[in-house]
């Protein structure tokens, strides 16, 4: 069985392994042990904090194989981005040049650096080891976050976003960043991405173009990747789009990957999940309905796929002692359920 739980200090070696496996463009997990240790401590503090509203909390969870104890994936949520460090995006826009006298009209696409997503909650740090990309594990690792947010909405910004990894090659070179590097940065994409993940963001304001960029002036290779995702990111994007998240014209300032968004209350899994009272039984029929289940706790948060004998009805769900132990619930406790 695999379960989702909050990350712990003892997971640092596993997190380092995942950071290495995630490769270039995975900004939220830079390959730096000290920083990852700080991320774990911040997450532990966030899960234990009593909050009246979202601020600088970050919730990092791991997927654990309970048979082996191995950590096989990660997923996270930022409560509200940009309240402490600046949170940059490019906003796609259009400028119109029109001369009635000459009967000439041209529309030119622009990229303007902005902070429009300040205060939004962010879905981040989604990674699953290749050997576990089956049996609905990726779906659990991504969608459980919506159950956690639905249960604790006061902890998160009203708007929810996810930055999707943009196009880059196996060496970590981005066609979009190549143009920025040539004219503005003189540092390569992996290093710029690493600095960003380390929280060293002052160079962005210092070196990024200060005026809107006319995309028609970019090399063709750079134009073609604006708003496109890395091939490995397509399944994650498809899942988020099914939840109702859409790109509203914002892209990453380094690789031009799209950012998708939705109001928290409009996310499909938030709307379609509900709380049920737990009834623990000795056994269930072998045939049943598979659900995503998450308890209503914070520090002892757990989520998993569970099979029950029928769809939960009348506000009650029947689970076994083993399932209850994995989800850290007792008789009469609450589980939030979503048909998986």
Q: Return the closest-CA partner of residue 254 out of 24, 80, 46.
A: 24
Based on the fold, state whether residues 159 and 23 are members of the same structural domain: yes
pLDDT-derived band of residue 211, with 50, 70 and 90 as boundaries?
confident
Cα–Cα distance for residue pair 84/50, rounded to 1 Å: 19
Rounded average pLDDT over 276-305:
91
Tell me phi and psi for residue 138, to 5 degrees. Answer: -65, -40
Based on the fold, state whether residues 261 and 282 are members of the same structural domain: no
Q: Give the model confidence (pLDDT) of 102-159 as tens digits.
A: 999 999 999 999 999 999 999 999 999 999 999 999 999 999 999 999 999 999 999 9
Q: Give the model confidence (pLDDT) of 62-112 as tens digits.
A: 999 999 999 999 999 999 999 988 888 999 999 999 988 899 999 999 999
Cα–Cα distance for residue pair 46/212, rounded to 1 Å: 37
Q: Return the closest-CA partner of residue 256 out of 279, 287, 233.
A: 233
Based on the fold, state whether residues 237 and 287 are members of the same structural domain: no
Cα–Cα distance for residue pair 89/232, rounded to 1 Å: 22
Q: In the prediction, which pLDDT does 197 show?
A: 59
Based on the fold, state whether residues 334 and 232 are members of the same structural domain: no
What sections of the chain are H helices per DSSP? 12-22, 33-48, 137-151, 175-180, 189-197, 202-207, 220-224, 234-242, 268-272, 321-326
Q: In the prediction, which pLDDT does 201 show?
A: 60
Catalytic residue numbers, as ranges: 230
Based on the fold, state whether residues 283 and 148 are members of the same structural domain: no
Is residue 164 over pLDDT 60? yes
Please report whether residue 72 resides in a domain: yes
Based on the fold, state whether residues 142 and 260 are members of the same structural domain: yes
Based on the fold, state whether residues 161 and 258 are members of the same structural domain: yes
Reading the block at residue 209, the tokens are: 């173009």
Report the chain's C-alpha Rg in angstroms. 22
Rounded average pLDDT over 49-68:
96
Based on the fold, state whether residues 6 and 155 are members of the same structural domain: yes
Count CA atoms within 13 Å of residue 126 on its CB side: 26
What total of structural domains would you count in the chain? 2
Domain range for 307 is: 274-339
Based on the fold, state whether residues 38 and 186 are members of the same structural domain: yes
């Amino acid at each position: 069985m695999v379960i989702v739980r909050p990350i712990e200090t003892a997971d640092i070696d596993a997190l380092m392994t995942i950071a290495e496996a995630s490769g270039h463009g995975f900004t939220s997990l830079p390959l730096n042990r000290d920083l990852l240790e700080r991320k774990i401590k911040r997450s532990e503090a966030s899960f234990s904090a009593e909050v009246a509203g979202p601020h600088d909390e970050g919730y990092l969870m791991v997927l654990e194989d309970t048979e082996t104890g191995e950590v096989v994936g990660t997923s996270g949520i930022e409560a509200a981005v940009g309240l402490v460090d600046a949170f940059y995006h490019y906003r796609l826009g259009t400028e119109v040049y029109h001369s009635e006298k000459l009967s000439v009209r041209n529309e030119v696409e622009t990229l303007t650096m902005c902070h429009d997503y300040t205060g939004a909650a962010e879905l981040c740090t989604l990674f699953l080891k290749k050997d576990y990309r089956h049996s609905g594990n990726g779906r659990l690792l991504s969608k459980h976050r919506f159950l956690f947010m639905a249960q604790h909405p006061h902890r998160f910004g009203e708007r929810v976003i996810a930055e999707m990894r943009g196009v880059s090659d196996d060496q970590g070179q981005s066609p979009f960043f190549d143009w920025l590097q040539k004219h503005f940065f003189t540092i390569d994409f992996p290093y710029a991405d690493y600095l960003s993940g380390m929280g060293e963001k002052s160079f962005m304001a210092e070196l990024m173009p200060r005026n809107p960029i006319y995309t028609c002036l970019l090399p063709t290779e750079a134009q073609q990747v604006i708003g496109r995702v890395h091939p490995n990111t397509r399944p994650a994007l498809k899942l988020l789009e099914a939840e109702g998240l859409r790109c509203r014209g914002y892209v990453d300032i380094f690789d031009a990957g799209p950012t998708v968004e939705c109001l928290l209350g409009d996310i499909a899994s938030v709307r379609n999940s509900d709380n049920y009272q737990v009834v623990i039984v000795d056994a269930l029929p072998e045939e049943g309905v598979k659900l995503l289940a998450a308890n209503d706790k914070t520090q002892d948060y757990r989520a998993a796929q569970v099979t029950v004998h029928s769809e939960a009805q009348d506000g009650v769900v029947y689970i076994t002692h083993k399932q209850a132990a994995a989800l850290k619930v007792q008789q009469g406790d609450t589980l939030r359920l979503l048909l998986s």
